[in-house]
Structure 1
Amino acid sequence: MLKQFSLLACFCLAKASLAADLDIIIPEFPEDHAIQFDTYPQQDTSTFIKGSELLANTESLIRQSLKPKVILIIDDLGDNYRLAKRIVDLPAKINLAFLPNTPFAKKLAQQGYQKGHDIMLHFPMEATTRPDLLGKGALTHQHSKEQAEQLFQANLEQIPHVVGFNNHMGSLMTQSADHMRWVMDYAARRNLFFVDSRTIASSVAIDQALQQGVPSLGRDVFLDPVSDSITSEQQLMRALSIADKKGQVVVIGHPYRSTIELLERELPFIAQHYQLVTVSEYWQSNQKAIN
């Protein structure tokens, strides 16, 4: 209970401090904007009611659009059904990244899609260390362009409703301009978005994605670089601070019990102060803003 209070208290103080520093002015609407219908007893009031509702909806939309965006991705799903089901059932729309060749990926992806989450492929890619953690379906330096595309397609076919992907590991592959160009060329043809997990600072994945016209984002914060509750709480506060300063943050977490407990406790509260959005919603809103 003490940890919960401390996290929420820090959150409120950080938000209040930010608003004061930035001198944010939120448009206000008069509380008495509703029309007094008893003044017009013989008049059809239906149009006035609609107008009042429209004004209220406009106020809500403006306030919502001013909230910083939090894009939360949970990786490594598909192996453990019970833990992943708790993530699927979280009270907010998030992004679920499934590993190919896992026993529960298809079933959980279907459930996640029905809940409104974005479904992603967590594409295994060769790293500089720990090949034992890659699993099946991994892209390696030995793959040719044709082989890379065939592998990508085979991985996608295992998981329904995929709208985008990010890299699982990949500290070696995301440095390879050739392999990333091949992957992004295929992603563009499949109309997928990409999120760089940024497992290494020298990744060229986003550069290649942009060259191929693939909508792309990069990870800002790992929610749980180690699986303990104190670290996760600290990382969550760091993520919210970045969102406050930049207007958005991309957070990647994993199906650890400590992470799930933190999200089950905090997401309803965070949703009151931030926009929890899927990656596809993020790009849709950006496109509307451009048009």
Structure 2
Amino acid sequence: MTATQGKRRSTTGPRTRIGSRRRPRTGASASSARKPGKESVFVPLLTVWIVALFLLVTLVLWTKGNPFHRSAKSSKETRTAAISLPSSQGPTPQEKKPAMRERPLQEEASQTARPNGRVQETTAAASVPKAPPGPVIPPTVPRKPPIGRVALVIDDFGYDLAMARKFIDLSLPVTFSVLPHLPHTREVAALAAAHGHEVLLHMPMEPQDYPKTNPGPGALLVGMTPQQMVAEIDKALRENPYARGVNNHMGSKFTEDLEAMRIVLQHLRSKDFYFLDSYTSGRSAALSVARELGIPCTQRDIFLDHEPTEGFVRRQIAELIRRAKLQGQAVAIGHPHPVTLRVLQEEADSFAKEGIEVVPLKKLLEESSGKNSAESGVS
């Protein structure tokens, strides 16, 4: 009986617990576990979708730009433009188009970014460096035109280099005429040209009493062939490449010969040179042949130092000024004598006081040829 009760107790006890207690608890716990599982999955998914949608909208706005910031910026630029260009001082219709084209480039270049991402605008003028102020140029004062012009030609350079340097230092535009084949021919010609003086070839030519009077090495003689004359001229010019014109040294016989002068002047015309007739003979044909060939040419008016004394040179300078006033221009020939140098130094201001301008010989010839062309109707 005891055993029977124990068995019953062992068989009936668990059945009652299983049938009455465990089944209801198992069903209730399963239903309650399923409901929280659905809610926990739905809420995270909804949150993810909302965040994704927000990021998408933010990305679209970021790539397309903020329309509100852009409109504010454009209104600010409009106000700035309206302030900087008042209607009373606005550009003319011709100036508006370039100004509208250049202004956006200047504003874009003058914008800088702040650390917070905003755009800081500066004026366009501040980004352009200002040029330093230049020297103040005084107003041009009209100068009274000269009454006349003169050219001062000094012959026979090539012997004394020291004397040539002294004439170079004169405050007058002296024209240097250099003899060929002398010890300092090359040096004097180069030195004078380097200091801005006009240079001539002082070509030796046959005088009336040749050979008693010797004109020097490389002289042109009437009895030469045309080829010999041309060869002597070219040989002399190789020593003096700075020359742009020629005048005769002596040559009282040679300049009277029409054919001889025609050969010489034709060759000078081919080099675009001009000729100054020293006028050692009253029967010189140089000027007439030059006009026939169309080569610029003039002749000497005054010898400054035919008598190398101070009084004579001063009187000749006064005569030169007088002729320049009457004729409009005049040419003087002197020589590198100490007395000539001294008087020219002392009388340098006399030309300006008398209204006479001292110019290089070529300028005098150019003005003379221009006047002749205007008078003859040649344009």
Provide the TM-score with structure 1 as the length reference. 0.76
Give the stretch that moved more between structures: 182-191 or 102-111.
102-111
- How many angstroms does 1:158 deviate by? 0.8
Which residue in the other structure is 1:267 paired with?
348
Instruction: Answer whether contact 1:69 1:277 (CA < 8 A) is retained.
Output: yes
CA distance 1:286–1:222, shift in 2 (3 Å): closer
Supply the distance in 2 between the matched residues of 1:252 and 1:265 (Cα, whole angstroms): 18
Cα offset for 1:225? 0.8
> Which of these residues, 175, 191, 204, is aligned with residue 95 of structure 1?
175
Q: Which amino acid aligns with 1:78?
A: G
| Structure 1 equivalent of residue 165 of structure 2 | 85
Query: Which of residues 166, 184, 198 in structure 2 aligns to 1:104?
Result: 184
**Offset of residue 214 of structure 1:** 1.1
Distance in 1 between the 2:226 and 2:210 partners? Answer: 24
Q: Partner of 2:361 in structure 1? A: 279
The one-letter amino acid of 2:241's match is P
Give the conservation status (yes or no) of the 8 Å contact 2:150–2:364: no
Matched with 1:220 is 301
Q: Who is 1:232 aligned against? A: 313
Instruction: Give how far 1:283 is off.
Output: 3.2
Give, in angstroms, the shift of residue 286 of structure 1.
4.7
CA–CA distance in structure 2, aligned partners of residues 87 and 133 of structure 1? 26
Q: CA deviation at 1:248?
A: 0.8
Q: Provide runs of 4+ in structure 1 moved above 3 Å.
A: 130-133, 283-291
Matches within 5 A, 1:2-21: none
Output the aligned Cα RMSD: 2.0
* Paired residues of 1:92 and 1:268 also in contact (CA < 8 A): no
Structure 2 gap ranges (5+): 1-132
Instruction: Say which SS state the counterpart of residue 53 (structure 1) adopts.
Output: coil
Q: Deviations over 1:104-137 (max 9, x none)?
A: 1211111211222110000100001264441101
Q: Is the 2:152–2:331 contact (alpha carbons within 8 Å) kept by the matching residues of 1?
A: yes
SS at match of 2:287: helix
SS of 1:110 mapped into structure 2: helix
- Single out whichever of 277-286 and 98-107 deviates more from structure 2: 277-286
Aligned to 2:274: 193
Distance 1:223 1:193 in 2: 22
* Amino acid in the other structure paired with 1:281: K
The match for 1:26 is: none
Q: Which residue of 1 aligns with 2:139?
A: 53
Structure 1 position 128 matched with structure 2 position 208: yes
For 1:81, give the aligned amino acid: L
Query: CA separation in 2, counterparts of 1:213 and 1:142?
Result: 25
Code of the residue aligned with 2:194 in structure 1: it is Q
Q: Which runs of 5+ in 1 are unaligned?
A: 1-45
* 1:126-153 alpha-carbon deviations (Å, 9 max, x no partner): 0012644411010012211111111111
Distance 1:136 1:179, change over 3 A: same
Aligned residue in 1 for 2:36: none
Q: Which has the higher contact order (CA 8 A, sep 6+)?
A: 1
Specify the alignment match of 2:199 in structure 1: 119
Aligned to 1:251: 332
Counterpart for residue 158 of structure 1: 239
Conserved 8 A contact 2:296-2:369:
no
SS for the counterpart of 1:137 is coil
Matched residue pairs, number? 237
Q: Is the 8 A contact 2:298 2:365 kept in 1?
A: no
**Distance change in 2, residues 1:100/1:186 (3 Å):** same
Distance between the aligned counterparts of 2:283 and 2:272, measured in 1?
A: 25
Is the 1:96–1:117 contact (alpha carbons within 8 Å) kept by the matching residues of 2?
yes
* Deviations, residues 208-252 of structure 1 (Å, cap 9, x unaligned): 112222100110010011111111111111111111111111100
Instruction: Give the Cα–Cα distance (whole angstroms) in 2 for the partners of residues 248 and 157 of structure 1.
Output: 32
Is the 2:248–2:278 Cα contact (8 Å) retained in structure 1? yes
- % identical aligned pairs: 28
SS in 2 for 1:162: coil
**Equivalents in 2 of 1:116, 1:283: separation in Å?**
18
Distance 2:300 2:219 in 1: 20
Structure holding more helix per residue = 2
2:258 equivalent to 1:177? yes
